[in-house]
Amino acid sequence: MKILLVEWVDSSYIAGWKDKKDFDVDLAKCFSTGLAIDESDDAITLVLSGGDTGQWSQSMTIPKVAIKRIRELKVKDTGEKHMR
């Protein structure tokens, strides 16, 4: 299973009444990290946690049209015993 860092853009908004010139707002730049448990042509799903029961927790599905970059993170094994 891959651990990914996904850079993506989301909508942004301005609340209240403003002049037209005040609506020059950039998209919100977002970063999400998690275990990639599903990927299709349209989206990728990351989760924060999983267990040996096959269940997952804290999922997020990001549309691929919003994704700017995906980096796979590598975990370096330090040789220490696993936490119990």
* CA 55 – CA 49 distance, rounded (Å): 9
* CA 20 – CA 71 distance, rounded (Å): 37
pLDDT higher than 80, residue 80: no
Which pLDDT does position 79 carry in this prediction?
63
Domain-located, residue 9: yes
Give pLDDT tens digits for 39-72.
Answer: 999 999 999 999 899 899 999 999 999 999 999 9
Give pairs for 36-39: CB < 8 Å, separation 24+. 36/1, 36/2, 36/3, 36/4, 37/1
Domain-located, residue 20: no
Domain-located, residue 47: yes
Please give the share of the chain, as a percent, with pLDDT higher than 90: 60
Domain-located, residue 18: no
Domain-located, residue 80: no
Q: Angle 65-71-74 (CA atoms, 0-180°, nearest 5)?
A: 150
pLDDT higher than 60, residue 84: no
Which pLDDT does position 5 carry in this prediction?
97
Which pLDDT does position 32 carry in this prediction?
97
Domain tally, the chain: 1
Which pLDDT does position 49 carry in this prediction?
93
**Taking the model in full, what pTM does it have?**
0.78
